[in-house]
Amino acid sequence: MSFENEWASVRNTATADVSMRLNQVPADPGGGSGSADLSVNQDKLGAIGSAAYALHGRLAKDGNHARTNTTEAATGMSTSGFRTGAAMATVQETWSSQLSTLLDACANISNHLDYSAASHAKDEADIKAALAASKINEYLK
């Protein structure tokens, strides 16, 4: 399952759970316990996003540090008839593939934290609007 599909599934589940919990809020003035079910700490999201961005930058630079030398060594050993050359080339290809995956993951973390903050703000506004509309409908009946 891709991250996008999993994220959409979690958002849909969270929205369903919130509306179920809202239907069970006691009718007392003040609106219940006061603890928010859906909250996002912008400072924490910012710190995690910043760390993911910094890690991406360091990995992009340092992750390919030995690529040229390893490739040259693998080619030289293969040319000289050593079986180790092919194994070293395989190691380099695997490293490059996994590095690319890790770089993509760091970029996704940073980008999706920005998306999460915006999405939570929109969800909060939608919930407030739905609650306000339900109160109006209640008075019109």
Q: Which domain holds residue 87?
A: 41-140
**Residue 25 forms part of a structural domain:** no
pLDDT for 66-95, tens place per residue?
Answer: 888 999 999 999 999 999 999 999 999 999
**Residue 26 forms part of a structural domain:** no
**Residue 28 forms part of a structural domain:** no
> Are 26 and 32 within 8 A, CB to CB?
yes
**Residue 10 forms part of a structural domain:** no
Beta strand residue intervals within 24-140, DSSP E = none
Residue 115's closest CA among 63, 65, 40?
40
Domains contained in the chain, number:
1
Please tell me the distance from the alpha carbon of residue 117 to that of residue 41, in angstroms, as a whole number: 9
pLDDT at 99: 93
**Residue 100 forms part of a structural domain:** yes
**Residue 98 forms part of a structural domain:** yes
**Residue 29 forms part of a structural domain:** no
pTM of the model: 0.51
**pLDDT of 32 over the 50 cut:** no
**Residue 89 forms part of a structural domain:** yes
The pair of structure tokens assigned to 33 is 């316990």
